Chains A and B, each alone.
Chain A
Amino acid sequence: MVDLNSYLVIGALLFSLGLFGVITRRNGVAVLMGVELILNAANINFIAFARFGGMDFSGHVFALFVIVMAAAEAAVALAIILNIFNNLGTINIDEADQLKQ
């Protein structure tokens, strides 16, 4: 029987993998992929509660807003990563430490 719990566990798994990607990858683009995974996990939870938890279509609308946020965030983050690459010649985020004393 597939019910609310299985979808929530899938969301938690996706969130954990995305968080793992964010905190362990060195490449900026790979970190961005981890953020996309986290946003997808949140979306799965929204839709699961819309289906099982009586959240109805508000969950769908919130999922749409999350997708819009993800698009805007990806565009801006990739522009920033391109700038970092042009200035430093690398996109490893642990080498972008120019602000360090």
Chain B
Amino acid sequence: MVVFSKNLIYSAMALLFTLMGVAGLYVFLWADFIAVTQILIYVGGILVLIIFGIMLTHRITNVRLSHSSIQQGVGGAIVLVIFLGLTSMILKAPWYRATAVEPQETVRQIGRLLMIDYLLPFEVASVLLLAALMGAALLSRKVD
């Protein structure tokens, strides 16, 4: 639906439900904190940003909010080949299986890892967010 719909707003709505479904999968995988973060950041932030982008890049008077695709045949064939290759690889590979027990508290573990083992990537991610913020503000500023 996200990639096939003719109407861009329909695509955005389909993306909303896709992200909600992925959050549900995270809950099934014992990752409740990631599921909540997914809903907050993706559904609350990125999707609103995308809808803003749609609204700002189409004239309000232009009712035709549709858009077309190109070369669907070739692209579909290539993507189908990639998907079948990935699926056969997944089904054949001897994955390492660990016997895990359901964790009692995920947030505490994530916080400990984030502040001890992954402190440098954490700080780098914060600097990246700052740079992205400044870059986006600079790019979208009116030049006078």
Residues of chain A whose beta carbon lies under 8 Å from any beta carbon of chain B: 2, 4-5, 7-10, 12-21, 23-30, 32-34, 36-37, 40, 43-44, 47-48, 50-54, 56-58, 60-61, 63-65, 67-76, 78-83, 85, 91-92, 94
Residues of chain B whose beta carbon lies under 8 Å from any beta carbon of chain A: 2-3, 8, 11-12, 15, 18-19, 22, 25-26, 28-31, 33-34, 37-38, 41-42, 45-46, 49-50, 52-54, 56-57, 67-72, 75-76, 78-80, 82-83, 86-87, 90-91, 95-98, 100, 103, 106, 109-110, 113-114, 117-118, 121, 125, 128-129, 131-133, 135-137, 139-140
Give the docked Cα–Cα distance between A50 and B37 (Å).
17
Chain B residues within an 8 Å CB radius of A34: 2-3
Chain B residues within an 8 Å CB radius of A74: 45-46, 49-50
A6 to chain B minimum Cβ distance, whole angstroms, is: 10
Chain A residues within an 8 Å CB radius of B78: 23
Judge whether A13 and B70 touch: CB under 8 Å: no
Minimal Cβ-Cβ distance residue in B for A85: B57
Chain A residues within an 8 Å CB radius of B129: 68, 71-72
A84 to chain B minimum Cβ distance, whole angstroms, is: 9
A-B contact count (CB 8 A): 212
Chain B residues within an 8 Å CB radius of A36: 15, 19, 42, 46, 50
Judge whether B22 and A43 touch: CB under 8 Å: yes
Give the docked Cα–Cα distance between A74 and B48 (Å).
11
Chain B residues within an 8 Å CB radius of A82: 53, 56-57, 139-140
Chain B residues within an 8 Å CB radius of A79: 135-137, 139-140
Judge whether A4 and B95 touch: CB under 8 Å: yes
Chain B residues within an 8 Å CB radius of A28: 57
A92 to chain B minimum Cβ distance, whole angstroms, is: 8
Judge whether B18 and A37 touch: CB under 8 Å: yes
Q: Which one of A33, A56, A79 has the highest number of Cβ atoms from chain B below 10 Å of its Cβ?
A: A33
CB within 8 Å for A48 and B118 given contacts A24-B75, A94-B70 = no
Q: Which one of B57, B100, B117 has the highest number of Cβ atoms from chain A below 10 Å of its Cβ?
A: B57
Give the docked Cα–Cα distance between A51 and B25 (Å).
12
Judge whether A71 and B45 touch: CB under 8 Å: yes
